[in-house]
Amino acid sequence: MSDRVEPLAIAVAQFAPGEDKAANLEHLRDLATTAASRGAKLVVFPEYSSYFSPALGAHSVAAAETLDGSFVAGLEAIAKVLDIHIVAGMLELCEEDENRFFNTLVALDPHGTLVAKYRKLHLYDAFGQKESDWVVPGPIEEPETFAAGDLRVGLQTCYDIRFPEVTRRLVDAGADLVVLPSEWVRGPLKEQHWRTLVTARAIENTVYFAAADQAPPIGAGNSMIVDPMGVELVTIGEETAVAVAWISSARLAEVRAVNPALGLRRFGIHPVTTSPPPLE
């Protein structure tokens, strides 16, 4: 009997969630069903999949839920029926601040069990936006990862991709695949930044990346799966769709044997405990 491990089929699912939470969950279910029918065992959805409005506000806070609320319950049912892992972004209630919420990712396994969560660390206070007006930054904690097949999966969100230490920290925690649910706002050069940053994080850490963005008109689209050598395995353009790729621990080992960068580095990652000085 061969002990060869079969490749794992994963999918990125791209859509534009809105303010109708039930419709968002239904759309998510339909896309997950399509991905599963193509063999996917892990499906990654965008940031803010539970509820999204182009302008955050009190209505966003009102749409936030607990981790045992209706959105996660809906994901649980979908994961069970389709026998898949699901990762999606949601607005999570923050008990410590009734005027803001956490921008949270949840990961559910094929049994519907919540196996990992991640609260966005780096908020989008850039390019004329200020997410921190309505969102509480996640605490710096040990990364939560989960197993899919023989691979370990780590979580990060959208603007985090501009901070390379976030991905490196996940790799230090054992991640072979990093999933990146996003609402990457369109704008001058933004699509170029997206493609460059996702590819760079995959190459420099010799990991797979599954980046799921929202579809236009607000999101840039271009959801993609990139391998540890920086090869773009699949990409979605501007439409609502799913894309499936097969990834493997064998490919990961092959790339790391050729490029042992993780073992050759001479610097580690440590949390910043004080704010950097302002730019002049």
**What's the confidence (pLDDT) of residue 174?**
98
**229, part of any domain:** yes
**In the chain, how many domains are there?**
1
Residue 112, sorted as left (phi over 0), alpha (psi -120 to 50) or beta, turns out to be left
**166, part of any domain:** yes
**275, part of any domain:** no
| Interatomic CA distance for residues 49 and 28, integer angstroms | 8
CATH number of domain containing 68? 3.60.110.10
Return the amino acid letter for 182: S
The pLDDT of 252-263, averaged and rounded, is 97
The pLDDT of 58-84, averaged and rounded, is 98
Considering 41, 65, 131, 158, which one is annotated as catalytic? 158
Dump the DSSP string for 17-61: --S-HHHHHHHHHHHHHHHHHTT-SEEE--TT-S---SS-SHHHH
Please name which of 188, 193, 243 lies closest in space to residue 215, comparing C-alpha atoms: 243
| Interatomic CA distance for residues 177 and 170, integer angstroms | 9
pLDDT at residue 87 is higher than 50: yes
User: Are the beta carbons of 196 and 232 closer than 8 angstroms?
Assistant: no
Q: Is 47 a catalytic residue?
A: yes
**What's the confidence (pLDDT) of residue 1?**
45
**Residue 144 tokens, joined:** 């939560």
**17, part of any domain:** yes
**What's the confidence (pLDDT) of residue 272?**
79
**113, part of any domain:** yes
| Interatomic CA distance for residues 82 and 111, integer angstroms | 10
Q: How many CB atoms lie within 10 A of CB 38?
A: 12
Q: Is 95 a catalytic residue?
A: no
| Interatomic CA distance for residues 142 and 173, integer angstroms | 8
**272, part of any domain:** no
The pLDDT of 41-60, averaged and rounded, is 98
Considering 21, 47, 183, 204, which one is annotated as catalytic? 47
Please name which of 183, 141, 144, 176 lies closest in space to residue 161, comparing C-alpha atoms: 183
User: Are the beta carbons of 54 and 67 closer than 8 angstroms?
Assistant: no
- For the entire predicted model, the pTM comes to 0.95
| Interatomic CA distance for residues 24 and 52, integer angstroms | 9
| Residues spanned by the domain of 108 | 8-261
Strand order in the sheet with 208-212: 146-148, 151-155, 177-181, 208-212, 224-226, 232-235
In sequence order, the 6+-apart residues with CB closer than 8 A to the CB of 203 are 228, 229, 230
**49, part of any domain:** yes
pLDDT at residue 278 is higher than 70: no
Considering 120, 131, 183, 204, which one is annotated as catalytic? 120
**64, part of any domain:** yes
More confident residue, 268 or 227: 227
pLDDT at residue 218 is higher than 80: yes
| Interatomic CA distance for residues 262 and 123, integer angstroms | 27
The fraction of the chain above a pLDDT of 70, given in percent, is 96
